[in-house]
Amino acid sequence: MEIMCTMIDDCCVNISVGSVYKVVDSLPDRYMIRNDVGSFQAYHSRYFKVVETQLDDTEVKERTGHYTTGEIEPFDVYKSMGMFPESCKTNILKYTMRQGKKVGQEKSDLKKIIDYAVALAVFEGVDPEEIKRLVNNRVDLEVKKNG
């Protein structure tokens, strides 16, 4: 995945505000960038905004349901771009509309709907313990009813 970012705060040495930099590697809270003097350095991600992401052809062909490249997940990219809630809702709608129509993906689509709904609920501040209780209660009820 190629990620391009721009610095949003003039606080880093050898990086220019407004210039676009390619992220060559990342850690959970840092981007490895080739700076203005040509050196590679890790900068805290809070000082940058992702401006573009693009999968290369190899990554598109090699995806196997696990959407990570290095340490960066699309969830993190969407959060950094302020698009996380919309992304979750869009994916919930996508997998709901597709569910049962793509042979071999029926159960996988249901799991994705649940995953995106849980991620959105946590992001929106619903207590994780409440989510666990709700999900566990529903599972227990359905197992009991359907044996």
Which residue segment(s) compose the domain that 20 sits in? 1-72
Angle at 20 between CA 15 and CA 26, to 5 degrees: 75
Is the pLDDT confidence value at 8 over 50?
A: yes
pLDDT tens, residue by residue, 113-127: 998 999 899 989 999
CA 90/CA 74 separation, integer angstroms: 13
Q: What is the pLDDT of residue 130?
A: 94
- Give the mean model confidence (pLDDT) for residues 105-115: 87
* Residue pair 87/78 in contact by the 8 Å Cβ criterion: yes
From 48, 72, 96, give the residue that closes a domain.
Answer: 72
Q: How many domains would you assign to the chain?
A: 2
Residue 54 pLDDT grade (very low, low, confident, very high; cuts 50, 70, 90): low
Residue 78 or 61, more confident: 78
Q: What is the pLDDT of residue 63?
A: 38
% of the chain at pLDDT higher than 90: 25
Is the pLDDT confidence value at 62 over 50?
A: no
What is the CATH classification number for the domain harbouring 2? 2.30.30.40
Check whether residue 67 and residue 99 sit in a common domain.
no
Question: What global pTM score does this model have?
Answer: 0.52
